[in-house]
Amino acid sequence: MTYLLATGWTGDGKDGLASGDGRQQWWWLAADDETGDRRWVFIPSPFDLLRKRQYCQNLVVTAKMPVRMVESPAPASSSGANPGQTSLQPCSLLSVGQTFSGTQNVSSPQKEEAWRVNVRIQGCDLNHGYVCGTMEALNVPMADTPVVTFWEGEIVDTKNYTFFTNKWKATSEVDIDHWTKFPSFSPLLSQVEVDGGKSLDLSNYQYIFMRWKEQYFVNVGADCGLTIAGFYYVCFSCVDGSINGYYYDPNSSPFQKLELKTTNEGRSGFSFSSYELQ
């Protein structure tokens, strides 16, 4: 079912309807352009124009009437997800068990340095835009052993997450500065600058953009002298599984680059494994 976009509709929050429990609920009467059916559509937040657009995109708003919540037949949407977008297509190189190795450039103005890095994917849930795994840094000078961290990733699918981070001290300017470092991002830049890329359909794009945030140290204490306060902007190539990333932490050297390729653990080809959560 599709809806037509209304013109001249502003919605300024003055038409809120009391729900009976002191909180305001918002119901708008909208018409389906195909069938002409009128239905009440629930909007969770009247003060967020962007979100209103998500719900009311393609809606013809014909009237605003008080309605008793108890009689409402319209489906409510509580997750805030963008109803128009679909999840990204699965990529077998970004699946559980897959390993990648390469380097992270941790150079500072005082010293040039790079760590060898191995990454393993442990979880991947495209419906929720979630991926996670471990990162192992070798030849870290202050550590006796490789340092392993567990990270969780947000997949930029415009459904669950957009290109705007909105947390971790990353402003939209910081976001754009980092994303533009990936050549594969340039066709997307103009739309991202407008709305964070919300209206983009990335389901057939050959690159997957993510943010990886390390959550804890697996095998060393938090006092090991290393920091996991920042996060990585990541670009994954579905073609060959190569990964490029940039670490962002306002208190660390900027643009530390992460470069990884798939590893085959001595094999002549690609190998796969899986588990099934109950």
Partner 1 sequence: MPGSASSTHRPEGLIERLRSAAADGGEAKLKDLRELKNQIIGNRTKKLSYIKLGAVPFVVSILSSAPYTSDSLLIQCAATIGSFACGVDSGVKAVLDAGAFPHLINLLSHSNEKVVDAGARALKMIYQSKVAPKYDFFQEKNMEFLISLLDKNNENLTGLGASIITHSCQTNDEQKILGDAGTLKRLINLLKGTTSQRDASLESFATVIKENPQVILEFVGPENGRTWGTLIELTKDRYPRTRLLACMCLILIRNAVPSYLQSVGIRTKLILILLELIDDSGQVGDEALFTLSSFIADEEGLQKLAFEANTIVKLCDHMQKELLQPKRLEGMLMILANLCSNLECCRSALLQSPKTINIITDALSHAAVDVCVAACICLKNISRSVKYLSAGNFMTEAVILPLVRLLHDTSTSVQVAALCTISNLVIAFTTHKSIFVQNGGVKHLVELSKSMDSRVRVNAVRALRNLMFLVDSRCKEGIFLELRALSLTSLISGNPIVTPRDTSACVQEQALGLICNLVNGPVDSIEYVFTEDALLLNAVGRQVWSSSKPEVLIQGMYVLCNVASGKEFQKEAVMCQILPESSKNDTQSIMVTMLQSDVAQLRTAAVWTIVNLTIPTGAGALARVVKLRNAGIVSQLKNMANDPCLDVKLRVRTALGQSMIFGDFST
Q: What is the CA radius of gyration of the chain?
A: 23
- Shortest CB 1 distance to partner 1, Å: 15
- Shortest CB 37 distance to partner 1, Å: 14
Q: Which helix (H) or strand (E) holds 107?
A: none
Nearer to partner 1, 84 or 97 (CB): 97
**Which amino acid makes up residue 103?**
T
Q: Which two tokens stand for residue 51?
A: 């979100």
Nearer to partner 1, 253 or 262 (CB): 262
Say what the alpha-carbon torsion angle 12, 18, 22, 26 is, to the nearest 10 degrees. -50
- Shortest CB 47 distance to partner 1, Å: 16
**Which amino acid makes up residue 256?**
Q
Determine the Cα–Cα distance for residues 5 and 84; give it in Å rounded to an integer: 14
Query: 156: closest CA among 129, 131, 133, 123?
Result: 129
Whole-Å CA distances, 207 to 11, 29, 187, 199, 255 = 37, 40, 12, 17, 20
Nearer to partner 1, 110 or 204 (CB): 204
- Which positions touch partner 1 (CB under 8 A)? 19-21, 23, 25, 42, 44, 69-76, 78-79, 89-92, 96-97, 120, 122-123, 132, 134, 150, 152, 204, 206, 215-216, 218, 238-239, 264-278
- Shortest CB 133 distance to partner 1, Å: 8
Determine the Cα–Cα distance for residues 145 and 167; give it in Å rounded to an integer: 32
- Shortest CB 266 distance to partner 1, Å: 5
Nearer to partner 1, 19 or 139 (CB): 19
Nearer to partner 1, 106 or 135 (CB): 135
